[in-house]
Chain A
């Protein structure tokens, strides 16, 4: 369980997050949605201790973010940041291998190698494993990054807009892998999504944010309504329900 209480964040004079109180349950996929500048990525970065937090506390299970040793935390929670530019000289296999670093500290065991191969297979990267990152397309590189995050083998996985650069096949397969991870291995996945359709289709819980505050929290059925979408995004698309699925007009 991720518990966030009283978290605010300012950059210069601008208020990015404003008194966030939020509990994300263990297990399942939680999606953060909201317009640009709502503070989704900032919140995710604070949970993953990528930025020092200013006010409030965040705990992940029994670990207090910022107070527990960094390496312990690295085995509890992994994050895929938005637009990470990794060293271009690495091969895909080497990059994914870094996901095991919190466990082996530079001396991988046979088990670590096996987990890397499994991560490569899960994301369909086995054929590309020997290729260098700078020879890949943006989408392939993104998949390699996700595979590295997966190889870190943590209870909590945070993804900041992982569908950027991905075509529809890769997007769907990534979301399916994530849902499968949540369902079969009890991982907790927190994901920032731009496309509400993906959030509606795959998330168990949707958190809608706007202007540094949380506007609504609930299941896709509760959140993806014309009223909430109008309030959060300030636009009014039609929302259709077909075969029990929510589809939002674009």
Chain B
């Protein structure tokens, strides 16, 4: 049913309200649509994975500052190289370099954080949120220090925007997302076991520590892709995965990953469709998502439904 709804939204997005040459409109919108779907699936999958290794329902990579880390890496690069140099680099090469840096930084930062605070959810939430704030503050500081023209380059790269999507990156992003998704899908049974808790997982012959690092790598790739394509996505992950838990209350990751991906794609494509075509693009979609997602976050915290 979700799939049908998504198809309808996609078709609507592609065709409705188009004026002018179809040869231009379809590829133009098609690219954007592909990018939206990639971002949607990347974020929902990263969030499901993250919630599985941290054994809770309120933390998402975005809340813990994964995308803030990506923006910081970007800013540091522009600061160190200068915008001229940075813009001259090829888009895809630059993107792959960013992803590699992101992997290293995420493993160092979140790997240690998660090994230390896994058993203490509240401490992990607090540390994570503070890390996210810290990363954003450092980014903000660097952005103030650099040249205004360089700042413009950072700004372009670091705000959530669906109207202008980096189409050049699409091919690289698609390949990386698909491989990350393939790895995740192969892990789905292992994820079910890891979700049982650390002792149960060891008892059943899994290696939770090693798996955690593998999963962190996948998350870092997925977050990098989505951030590079459209910028930080705030509460989208939390919102769609909470919805997925409501729609399909199950412990099976095969089902959960699918339903979260469908809901996520539906939210982005449908939301963008409604905003762009029906409401005439008065508000950026991310604002709407963050308002709803923020409320969901508070409700989850207050209802203590975080496991």
CB contact under 8 A between A89 and B189, given known A49-B202, A79-B203, A81-B203: no
Chain A, Cβ-Cβ closest to B187? A106
Q: Please indicate which of the listed interface residues B192, B196, B197 has the most CB atoms of chain A within 10 Å of its own CB.
A: B196
Q: Which residues of B contact A233 (CB under 8 A)?
A: none
Do the beta carbons of B203 and A50 come within 8 Å of each other? yes
Number of interface residues of A (CB under 8 A): 30
Tell me if B48 counts as interface (CB < 8 A to partner A).
Answer: no
Are the C-beta atoms of A74 and B189 separated by less than 8 Å? Answer: no
A198 interface hit (Cβ, 8 Å): no
Question: A84 in the interface, Cβ–Cβ < 8 Å?
Answer: yes
Residues of chain B contacted by A88 (CB below 8 angstroms): 307
Is A102 among interface residues, defined by CB-CB distance under 8 A? Answer: yes
Q: Does B109 contact A (CB under 8 A)?
A: no
Does B192 lie within 8 Å of A106, measured CB to CB?
A: yes
Q: In the complex where A89-B249, A89-B250, A106-B190 touch, is A70 in contact with B200 (Cβ < 8 A)? A: no
A241 located at the interface, meaning its Cβ lies under 8 Å from any Cβ of chain B in the complex: no
- Once the chains bind, are B188 and A106 in contact (CB under 8 Å)? yes
Task: Confirm or deny: B58 has a beta carbon within 8 angstroms of a beta carbon on chain A.
Answer: no
Does A1 touch B at the CB level, under 8 Å? no
The residues in B between 178 and 203 inclusive whose CB is less than 8 angstroms from any CB of A are 188-190, 192-193, 195-200, 202-203
Report the Cα distance A94→B205, complex, angstroms: 17
Q: Which of B127-175 contact A (CB under 8 A)?
A: none
CB contacts (< 8 Å) of B203 on chain A: these are: 48, 50, 74, 78-79, 81, 149, 152
Minimal Cβ-Cβ distance residue in B for A107: B189
Tell me whether A70 and B197 are in contact in the complex, defined as CB-CB below 8 angstroms, given that A89-B250, A89-B251 are known contacts: no
Does the CB pair A74–B204 fall under 8 Å?
yes
Q: Which of B196, B202, B249, B250 lies in contact with A86, CB distance below 8 A? A: B196
Query: Which residues in A have their C-beta under 8 angstroms from that of B188?
Result: 106
**From residue A10, how far is it (CB to closest CB) to chain B in Å?**
19
User: What is the 8 Å Cβ interface bit string for chain A, positions 49-89, against chain B (1 contact, 0 not)?
Assistant: 11000000000000000000011111100110100111111
0 or 1 for each of B199-219: is its CB under 8 Å from A? (1 = yes) = 110111111000000000000
Residues of A within 8 A of B205 (CB): 70-75, 101-102
- CB-CB under 8 A from B206, the residues of chain A are 70
A215 interfacial contact with B, CB 8 Å: no
Contact, CB under 8 Å: B189 / A101:
yes
Residues of chain A with a CB closer than 8 A to B207's CB: 70
Is the CB of A98 closer than 8 A to any CB of chain B?
Answer: yes
> What residues of A have a CB within 8 angstroms of the CB of B193 in the complex?
98, 101
Select which of B190, B200, B249, B307 is within 8 A of A84 by beta carbon. B200
Q: Show 28 residue pairs from A and B whose CB-CB distance is below 8 angstroms, ordered by the A residue.
A: A48-B203, A50-B202, A50-B203, A70-B202, A70-B205, A70-B206, A70-B207, A73-B205, A74-B204, A78-B203, A81-B199, A81-B203, A85-B197, A86-B196, A86-B200, A87-B251, A88-B307, A89-B251, A98-B196, A98-B200, A98-B204, A101-B189, A101-B193, A101-B204, A105-B189, A106-B188, A106-B190, A107-B189
14 A-B pairs besides A48-B203, A88-B307, A98-B192 with CB distance below 8 A are: A45-B199, A70-B202, A78-B203, A81-B199, A84-B197, A86-B196, A86-B197, A87-B251, A89-B251, A98-B196, A101-B193, A106-B188, A106-B192, A107-B189
